[in-house]
């Protein structure tokens, strides 16, 4: 599990490192006022960023590194949210009994 969280952290760091470059290249590629040669070079440079794209990012639970059923409000998986809510350790969440 630790390897998965380290890998996810590295992918996220690589994405944020290249995000401004990627946005600038997208702007150049889609700008119709520029020459076709510049737009072509921008599209070729964009292909280098494929391995660090937004689609590779995945949110993970802080406690369990679980990627499925992630609740962004708490940065936890639904399993841990349920356990912590049951124990009363989440703010503004109360267990309701009928």
CATH of the domain at 88: 4.10.830.10
Which residue range is the domain that position 25 belongs to? 1-57
Averaged confidence pLDDT in the chain: 83
**Using CA atoms, how far apart are residues 48 and 68, in angstroms rounded to an integer?**
29
Residues 89, 41, single domain; the answer is no
Residues 67 and 95 in one domain: yes
CA separation for the pair 43, 58 (Å, rounded)? 26
Rounded distance between C-alpha atoms, residue 83 and residue 35, angstroms: 58
Tens digit of pLDDT for each residue in 65-98? 788 888 888 889 999 999 998 888 888 887 776 6
Count of structural domains, the chain: 2
């Amino acid at each position: 599990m630790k390897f998965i969280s380290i890998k996810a952290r590295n992918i996220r760091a690589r994405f944020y490192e290249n995000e401004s470059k990627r946005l600038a290249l997208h702007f150049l590629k889609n700008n119709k006022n520029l020459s076709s040669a510049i737009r072509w070079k921008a599209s070729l440079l964009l292909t280098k960023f494929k391995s660090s794209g937004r689609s590779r990012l995945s949110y993970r639970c802080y406690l369990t590194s679980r990627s499925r059923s992630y609740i962004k409000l708490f940065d936890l998986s639904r399993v841990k949210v349920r356990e912590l809510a049951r124990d009363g350790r989440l703010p503004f969440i109360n267990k309701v009994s009928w």
